[in-house]
Amino acid sequence: MSLIVTLFLSLLLIFIFISLRIYFILPTRPSTTPQTSILQSSRIVELKPPANSHVLMILGSGGHTAEMFSLLSSISPDVITHRTYVFSSGDIHSARSAQMFETSLLGSYTKKANEKIGYRLLEIPRARKVRQPWVTTPWSCLRCLIGCMNVLRGGDLEGMNVRMRKCWEGRWFPDVVVCNGPATAVMMVLACYIYKFFGRCSTRIVYVESFARVTTMSLSGKLLLPLAHRFLVQWPQLAEKYPGAEHLGFLVS
């Protein structure tokens, strides 16, 4: 009997510890009053990232990628010096869009050429394919989660040259993750919180709901609403319907 009691108390203490740890790493955002202030030119860059910051952007097929680069159209490579783009396997369109976007930034640098950091473009397993059976989805999501965790810890840098590794040294974990709807975003945010749980990173999550979502949020949005440090929607009725969401006007053009 004493063994059962000891086991029960041990499990209870573990449960309490895990619950408290999750509570302390979850973001604190207003959850009762709708945030619906309209701002002029309210783009994602106005969140004012710190100098020399590392931002990870999650790309998705079709409209998700187009909206992401519209959000990032005003970023300064002198401020966001470390840029990581993540795309799902087979999404060649997103990979090419990222390369074209980086080419467009070449004239935006004001620092010396040897101070440029550049970017990483990484492919990870797709979380869920279109019309994929739900019975196989947990396996593909697990593979995606493992890929996301490898990206966050800088696993790809192990095969790079010494100069590249030195440029990214100490900046493997991003300061901010920006996502806008693809299923991969859910896995990436979950990977962030796994590292947060063990005190490995302090990454902030910024979620921007798709412009196409007018009356209801996407499944990814519903899942990530309690996990994002900033949750932005582009239609005021969504901010009124979902406590914790913010409406700053239209963020894409």
Does the CA dihedral 213-137-191-88 come out positive or negative? negative
Question: Which tens digit of pLDDT belongs to each residue from 165-190?
Answer: 788 877 889 999 999 888 899 999 99
- Gap between the Cα atoms of 241 and 76, Å rounded: 34
Domain map (residue ranges) of the chain: 49-102+124-207
Residue with token string 């394919």: 129
Question: Which tens digit of pLDDT belongs to each residue from 187-245?
Answer: 999 999 999 999 999 899 999 998 888 889 999 999 999 999 999 998 888 888 888 88
pTM, full prediction: 0.83
For domain 49-102+124-207, the CATH class is alpha beta
- Reply yes or no on whether the pLDDT at 108 is more than 70: no
Asked if 215 and 78 touch (Cβ cutoff 8 Å), the reply is: no
How many other CB atoms are there within 10 angstroms of residue 21's CB atom?
A: 14
Helix ranges restricted to H, 26-90: 63-71
Residue with token string 């010396």: 112
Question: Which tens digit of pLDDT belongs to each residue from 15-49?
Answer: 898 888 888 888 876 554 444 443 333 333 334 44
Helices then strands, each counted (H, E), the chain = 8, 7
User: What local confidence, expressed as pLDDT, does residue 35 receive?
Assistant: 47
User: What local confidence, expressed as pLDDT, does residue 116 receive?
Assistant: 53
CA distances from residue 252 to 106, 170, 242, 248 in whole angstroms, order as listed = 22, 32, 21, 11
